[in-house]
Structure formats: structure tokens, C-alpha cells
Homo-oligomer: A and B are copies of this chain.
């Protein structure tokens, strides 16, 4: 595997899930594979779960970790070819990527979308520039349009928790006070398409995901119908694809409550966290036994461990 930035980089999902089992049973399996190797983590945006779980995974594999908080350091990167760099950007991504490739065996990067220019966000300028210019593998720590480490952890969680074959998995939009990226739902959908599940997306009118992700999936604007009989309820807010970045914090009726969960077939509740309590989901659901959010978070270490192992094998 050359890079890990979407499900398309996974050759064989069953092989990945089997490796996940290996690490679950023994976190220090392959603890020598990373000896003398360095993971560089580049944060253009804040991170708690991804930062901690990816570091933890690297340590378990014996790697060293170097963290660069570019958002805090005010280190602005130029992305355009041919730019005359007499403005604020101090360094072109060409040099940054090539230089970091001298110091790191894998480069992880987090870069959120601006949510102003859809065409630019979906072009993934930061991620694609790093993939183009780096000479070592690139690991996405959430990009403008995808969050593959989260989605793989979600697949692991569903697989380990499902009590029937081909469970019904409902991805439902939920309200939120801020404008959020589409990365988590996009990514969740493209991974679940490969898992052995019945996937349904429920979102308000005007909040359909980009066609490249939602095509082939049942989409409904009736949350209650979608939840009926569900085995897994994955709640997440996202801003609109069209008009790009639109929000609807007033749609409180889309909050996941105990009443809504009662429509499911003893369904389990999932969310990638951080979550706004009593906005996205009611306390009663998050604090109940049906909640899987901590298992999801725990699986982030395993998800990162598998991805790093695969990248190190290539290196």
C-alpha cells in the first residue's frame, strides 16, 4: 500500500480485519517492526482522538513520533505551482513534503476543508500535494472529504458487535450548532459499502451527500422510517453539499433520543466523537448500554496500528 487516504487503498478488507484481530489479542504483536522508524504527524487542525490513538499505535509498533502543529506555529504552506511567493506562505508544499520525507518513514496529515469552495475542498489540495511530492507513505488523519482511520475503526466496531449477518446500519444526520465537514459521513459510506451490511442514509432534504459517495445507497428524508428495525444507528452532523456549507441547527427533531432508538431492533448507537450531548444525541442514549462510542474510540488504536503496519511493510 503506497498511501492510506481512503478505502480505495485497502487491497483486501478481510485481511485488514484479521490483522485487527491480531492486534486486539496482542497489542505488542509486531512491536519491533517500527524500530528506528519515525512517524511524523502534521496537524493543520486540532485533534484529540486521532492524535492520541495514532501516537499510541505507533508506539505499540516500536516507532518514534514527531508532532508538528502547523496550525499553531503559523507555518503557512504554498500549494500553487508557479506561485511567486512574496506573500504570507513561507514554504512551498513541494519542499515541505520532500524535506519531511527525509525525516519520517510515514507522514500523517490532518487538513480540514474550508467549507467555502466545494470544488477546491473536494480536490483535496493538501493531501494530494503531499501524495505527489512526498517520497514516503502518506497517512490521512482526516482530510477535507474523508476520515478513513475513523471509518475503518467503525467497520471493526460493527463487525465485532453485530449479532446477525448483514445487519441494518443507518447513517443519520443530526443537528449541530456549527458548520461541519462531510468527511466522516462520506468515508463511513464508502467503507460500509464494502462491509456486509444493509446501509441506509437518513438526512433532511437539502443534506444529501455528494453523489460520488451516496450513489447506490438508499437515501431517505424520513428518519423514523430509516430507524425502524435498525441494528446500528450512526449519528453525525454534516453541512450541506448543495448549497455547499449550509447548516440547519434548528432541526432539533433529528436528535437521537431514547424514543427514536425504541424504533430500532435493539439497535446500538454509534458516533465518532466529539459529540454535542443533548443536541446530536440525548444523554439517555449516550449513557445507556446501547452506546458503542467508547468501543469505537478504542478501535481507533487498532485501526491506526493496522494502517501503519501496512504502510511500513511497503516502506
Contacts and interface: CB of A to CB of B under 8 A. Distances in A.
Interface of A: 27-28, 31, 36, 38, 40, 46, 48-49, 51-53, 55-56, 59-60, 64, 66, 68-69, 72-75, 78, 81-87, 90-92, 94-96, 98-100, 102-104, 177, 249, 273-279, 283, 286-287, 293-294, 297-298, 300-301
A28 B35 CA distance: 10
Given A48-B91, A55-B66, 18 more contacts: A38-B56, A48-B75, A51-B66, A52-B103, A55-B64, A72-B73, A78-B277, A81-B283, A82-B278, A83-B277, A86-B276, A87-B177, A91-B274, A91-B275, A95-B273, A95-B286, A95-B294, A98-B297
A81 to B, nearest CB: 8
Contacts of A28: 36
Number of identical monomers bound together in the oligomeric complex? 3
Contacts of A100: 52
Nearest to A81: B283
A84 B53 CA distance: 28
A82 B100 CA distance: 44
A49 B36 CA distance: 19
